[in-house]
Amino acid sequence: MSERPFHDRDGFIWFDGQLVPHREATVHVLTHAMHYGSSVFEGQRAYDGKIFKLEAHTARLRTSANMLGFDIPYTDAEINAACYELMKANGLTNCYIRPVAWRGSEQMGISAQKTKIHVAIAAWEWPSYYSMEERLKGLKLDIARYRRPAPYTAPSAAKAAGLYMICTVSKHAAEEKGCADAMMMDYRGRVAEATSANIFFVKDGAIHTPEPDCFLNGLTRQTVIELARKRGITVNERAIWPEELSDFEECFLTGTAAEVSPVSQIGPWHFTVGEITRQLLTDYDNLVWGRLTNAA
């Protein structure tokens, strides 16, 4: 049986300051965000009732909105409290949480100065993006056709809905080839990230990861870098060119949805699910589940 569609579920969604029944959390078809991508969002997880790095996620939501030229009409404290209120109303302790802010339907056209800014938060049970069996076997990635845009062509540091259009296209193309995801290059032809996760490589006991100068510097990415450095592992944030991939031994992805997910193949390049990848997968799981109290 297929999963129930997201518009037809029980429970509640926090919508513009109040809890409303899930099925009633709707917007008009002429909402500006639907036509022009004027929307920002976050993805965060709760483990045993505690939302991991909630304050950082909310701060990034506000920063993303500001990059798109609008202000969120709720304080960070109000949004944080709403996330927990929603979890309690829905009886959730281990779940995925999706805050989203967007321009409404008061004005249609490129100019949207008079639109109302709306905020909603949804939550649902969502296990790890990939099963533990898939993660330990290693994911197979395609190479995306589209590239991450230059920061002078789009607000690349924002978690903005419009920036994910090419990600959906790329992931669909990868899945049609039997792959789990796709690796994207940046506008210069350097390695950038996967469609919704940052990417890391391992060589000679050190980690190498692309510098996030034209894509999102993920909070999970930052967490994993901290965990690696606490173990004394060198982490190099630098430009990585595709021709280097044949020299790397291990590869893994990081993200709120993906958590830490090993990669076994990208196009013609193969990797092992090695010691460093397995260690960081374990360290991250221990951290978010509260079993690693001395980590950031």
> Which of the residues 88, 137, 140, 159 is marked catalytic?
159
70 lies in the same domain as 183? no
Mean pLDDT of 259-276: 97
Specify whether 137 is catalytic. no
Instruction: Please check whether residue 81 lies inside any domain of the structure.
Output: yes
42 lies in the same domain as 73? yes
pLDDT at 43 over 70: yes
Which of 124, 145, 177 is the last residue in one of the domains?
Answer: 124
- pTM of the entire predicted model: 0.94
The domain in which residue 244 lies consists of 132-288
Number of domains in the chain: 2
Contacts of 243 (CB under 8 A, 6+ apart): none
Confidence grade of residue 127 (pLDDT, cut at 50, 70, 90): confident
CA–CA distance, 199 with 251 (Å, rounded to integer): 7
CA–CA distance, 86 with 80 (Å, rounded to integer): 10
pLDDT at position 292 is: 58
pLDDT in tens, 199-246: 999 999 999 999 999 999 999 999 999 999 999 999 999 999 999 999
CB 184 within 8 A of CB 141: no
Mean pLDDT of 119-148: 89
64 lies in the same domain as 30? yes
What does 63-129 look like in DSSP terms, one character per residue? HHHHHTT---SS-HHHHHHHHHHHHHHHT-SSEEEEEEEEE-SS--SS--TTPPEEEEEEEE----S
Confidence grade of residue 40 (pLDDT, cut at 50, 70, 90): very high
